[in-house]
Amino acid sequence: MLICSILSNIKEESIKNEILSLRNIIFQETYSYDIKDNWDNYDDNSYHFLIYNNDKKLVGYYRLRKFNNNFNDTLASELFDLNNFSLNEFAEISRACVHPNYRDGSVISLLWTNISGFLLTHEIQYCIGCTSIINNTIILNNTFSYILNKNLIFKDLILPKNKIIIEKKLDEEHIKKKNVTTLIRAYGKQGALFSPWPSLDEKWNTIDFFTVFSVASLTKKLAKMG
């Protein structure tokens, strides 16, 4: 049985260390063993969604922060020019983590069920984030082409601050799903839209796509999944 806990203003060092341990394990294995994720001010101002298994082990995680018409403190603003983007109240999600032994869909489904419920309760209509992929030309070309071919394109022009050169757009028959980042495909199925022009995260050496979720669309997708 999986249990979701939502925490904010975390003071206990044991919980912080538990969260950081999972984040570092996942990010180092996925992106680079040089990554060292630390607890910061963003964490102090976030809500933390934690999924525990029967053994009370942390197996899934997201953090979420609420904003009110101010993009200056968002993580997305570090990588993208958001001058053409305008929302009164929104949330930003980040640090998605699911333990490798729990990637059958149950953990991510429970996470998003609780996140969507939280957003609805707080009357937040949109959620943004940066979806990271490995800095790899094949994965980039396939992911970029997948977004365009599936028409998962966000309408506002969001330009990257650290532009990445995309070598070519692949035709649909040449896109290999194994080379399209799993989160991009999963988010797309949940109704997310992306700015197709990614930005380089020099700190983590990842390529990031600006991502927007409509909460109304998200809840409809989750209802069908349920």
- pLDDT digits 0-9 by tens, 35-89: 899 999 999 999 999 999 999 999 999 999 999 878 889 999 999 999 888 788 8
Reported as a single tens digit per residue, the pLDDT across 131-169 is 999 999 999 999 999 999 999 999 888 999 999 999 889
End-to-end, the C-alpha distance of the chain in Å comes to 17
Cβ atoms of 93 and 129 within 8 Å: the answer is: yes
Which one, of 221, 182, 199, lies nearest residue 78 by Cα?
199
Tell me the DSSP string of 166-224: ---PPPGGG--GGGS-HHHHHHHHTT-EE-SS-EEETTTTEEEEEEEEEHHHHHHHHHH
What b/e readout covers 57-94, taking b as 16+ CB neighbours within 10 angstroms?
Answer: ebbbbbbbbbbeeebeebbbbebbebeebebeebbbbb
Contact (Cβ atoms closer than 8 angstroms) between residue 197 and residue 143: no
pLDDT at 89: 87
What is the residue type of 39? W
Q: What percent of the chain has pLDDT over 70?
A: 96
Tens of pLDDT, residues 7-25: 999 999 999 999 999 999 9
Domains recognised in the chain with CATH numbers = 65-225 (3.40.630)
In which residue are the tokens 């999924």 written?
51
User: Which among 189, 191, 183, 188 is positioned nearest to 207, based on CA atoms?
Assistant: 183
Q: How far apart are CA 126 and CA 38, in angstroms?
A: 27
Pick from 213, 212, 182, 37: nearest CA to 98: 182
